[in-house]
Amino acid sequence: MAKPFLVTVAPHLHGGTSVKSVMWNVVVALIPALLAGVYFFGIEALILTCYGVMSAIMTEAIILAFRKKTITISDGSAVVTGLLVSFNVHTGVPWWIPVVGSAFAIAIGKHVFGGLGHNIVNPALLGRVFLVVSWPAIMTGNWQKTVMNSINGLSNQSLLDLPEQITGATPLAVLETLQDTVFIESLGENARVISESLYQEMISFPTLLNTFLGNIGGCIGEISAIALLLGGFYLLSKKIIEWRIPFFYLFTVAVLTYLLGGYDGFMSASYNLPLFHILSGGLLLGALFMATDPVTSPVSKKGRILFGIGCGLITVIIRLYGAYPEGVSFAILIMNLLVPLIDKFTYSRPFGKK
């Protein structure tokens, strides 16, 4: 008798998306941000990122071998984690920072919980937070100036047209300092009476255009809003991510900073505060690439809306009232933990059921 035919369960057609295609598409979407990082910070950014990615891949391979599982590094999920961890450090850190961060992300963030698909929180964010709380001085001090800043000085960014030396501090760090001062007045008239240090920081405050392009201080992958948006739209068009989480996340941040930031009238008037908040810091990176991580976000559409709003709320609270200038990582991590609860309350209703 002839060889029996292959028997598998229906359906016998498949749409073609695989874990591999999803992950490698995310890698492709992250490339513009990486290029922007390299453009603004120099080759160092690329080297640090390579360290992070290599570390993630190695850790994944070693742990999978240890767990006696098939080595699935080719599915690209470790590459994504490595990239995201490296995107969250600045170019002033030593080489072992992204290495340790990625290894921690893969080992503790992912494999302790059972590997791909089973982790509770976003591994890359866990890696970043681990780095920030373990080596706060390295992670938040010594912000590097962008190459562009050093070359152009302040010619295209100073509001006051005073070509002074700039600090490399991130816009959000500057904002935090500004918010802490009681002195809030119209800048132009009282420039003379502003204390010297504050004055320095104010003139280093970047324009929206530079924030948008990425010509600001910050981490490798988070500085260029336009590169991140490019990647985000690529993922949206490929239907890898869904618009609900990023949209409601950014929307909530915009609305809340508009309402709450109003008390600092000065900032919202001259710096277009909500837009500034959206474009700066890790918000776009977080909203487009981290909050949308399918494993750690709700599965239903309603749940995703709630998740996005929650992330936005916590981010704004931390940014405006917390001790840290940046709240994106904590916000997403906290919401990650709430996902099972959100899933439970957004159970879908079968078609035709009342």
Residue numbers at the binding site for other proteins (CB under 8 A): 1-2, 4-15, 17-19, 21-22, 75, 114-118, 242, 294-301, 304, 347-354
337 φ, ψ (degrees, to nearest 5)? -70, -25
Q: State the Cα–Cα distance between residues 48 and 55, nearest whole angstrom.
A: 11
Residue 293, sorted as left (phi over 0), alpha (psi -120 to 50) or beta, turns out to be beta
Q: Which is nearer to other proteins, 138 or 295 (CB)?
A: 295
Q: Which is nearer to other proteins, 13 or 323 (CB)?
A: 13
Q: Which is nearer to other proteins, 158 or 336 (CB)?
A: 336
| Least Å from the CB of residue 70 to other proteins | 8
Q: Which is nearer to other proteins, 114 or 141 (CB)?
A: 114
| Least Å from the CB of residue 248 to other proteins | 15
Q: Which is nearer to other proteins, 8 or 155 (CB)?
A: 8
Question: What's the number of CA atoms in the CB half-sphere (13 Å) around residue 29?
Answer: 28
| Least Å from the CB of residue 13 to other proteins | 5
Q: 39 CB contacts (<8 Å, ≥6 apart)?
A: 147, 214
| Least Å from the CB of residue 68 to other proteins | 16
| Least Å from the CB of residue 354 to other proteins | 7
Q: State the Cα–Cα distance between residues 330 and 315, nearest whole angstrom.
A: 8
- Let me know the angle formed at the C-alpha of 225 by 179 and 31, rounded to the nearest 5 degrees: 140
Exposure class string for 246-280: b at 16+ Cβ within 10 A, else e: bebbbbbbbebbeebbeebebbbeebebbbbbbbb
Q: Token pair of 125, please?
A: 């964010």
Q: Which is nearer to other proteins, 192 or 353 (CB)?
A: 353
Where does the chain have alpha helices with state H?
Answer: 19-41, 43-66, 77-87, 96-104, 123-134, 136-140, 147-152, 171-180, 187-190, 196-203, 208-213, 225-237, 244-261, 265-271, 273-279, 283-285, 301-321, 328-345
Q: State the Cα–Cα distance between residues 292 and 106, nearest whole angstrom.
A: 18
| Least Å from the CB of residue 118 to other proteins | 6
| Least Å from the CB of residue 347 to other proteins | 7
Q: Which is nearer to other proteins, 163 or 294 (CB)?
A: 294
